[in-house]
Amino acid sequence: MGVFSVEIQVGDPQAKSFESVDALVDTGATNTVLPSSLLGRLGVDPYSKSTFELADGSQLDLDIGRTWVKLDGKQEFTQIVFGKDEGGAILGAITLEEMGLAVDPVRRRLVPVNKLLKLAQAKSVEIPEEFLELLAGSRLSSVDDDQRVKAALALHLFVTGEVSAGKAAELIELSRFQFEQLLGELGIPLVTYGMAEFEQDKAAIQLIKRRRKSA
């Protein structure tokens, strides 16, 4: 995923005072991380500690708390991690999920998505670029960018077995028949399968994309 930042507003626990900060969008991070000095100024106190795994595999015990975070007109009282001041701010998966936002890796932005109550557990999803690029040459090529991102998310959830074909069709406002036609157009089987099969089909999608470019 291309790295990008967004401006968020971090508030005190009473939601009376807010400060703006640039936060790195990272769906690989479970929690939102904020500089300890910022949280101290806002009167946010830790209520517990938790162990976190870093990118190099090492583990670190850090304070956690809760406070208000605003982004794009949305506001959530979210769990945050007290980070080092020099480390900057990170917008994590839990806060993104609470706000109903997903990552558009092509345009490096956040887009609103519907929350899915049928999932076994809530999670933030990074949309594979292959689906976005493949949809650009499909019957959905004329829809707006937000709708194409939602379609890519629905396809990703369907092929990984997270939602049924009917739910995926509902997410992108197609009939079940129209969704089956789209699957056939993209060369995606109308079956439920796991991640191993998805990786195989991902390679097939890339092959189809290369053939379309050379045609």
Same domain, 84 and 125: no
pTM: predicted TM-score of the whole model, two decimal places: 0.55
> 101 to each of 50, 187, 193, how far by Cα in Å?
25, 28, 25
Beta carbons of 32 and 78 less than 8 angstroms apart: yes
Domain at 45, CATH number = 2.40.70.10
pLDDT > 70: percent of the chain = 79
111 occurs within a structural domain? no
Quick: pLDDT tens for 59-94.
889 999 999 999 988 999 999 999 999 888 999 888
Same domain, 87 and 175: no
Task: Kindly report, residue by residue over 13-38, the tens digit of the pLDDT.
Answer: 999 999 999 999 987 788 899 999 99
The total domain count for the chain is 2
Q: Does residue 103 lie in a domain region? A: no
Shared domain for 69 and 127, answered yes or no, is: no
Identify the domain containing residue 76 by its residue range. 5-97
Between 14 and 191, the more confident residue is: 14
Asked if the model's pLDDT at residue 192 lies above 70, the reply is no
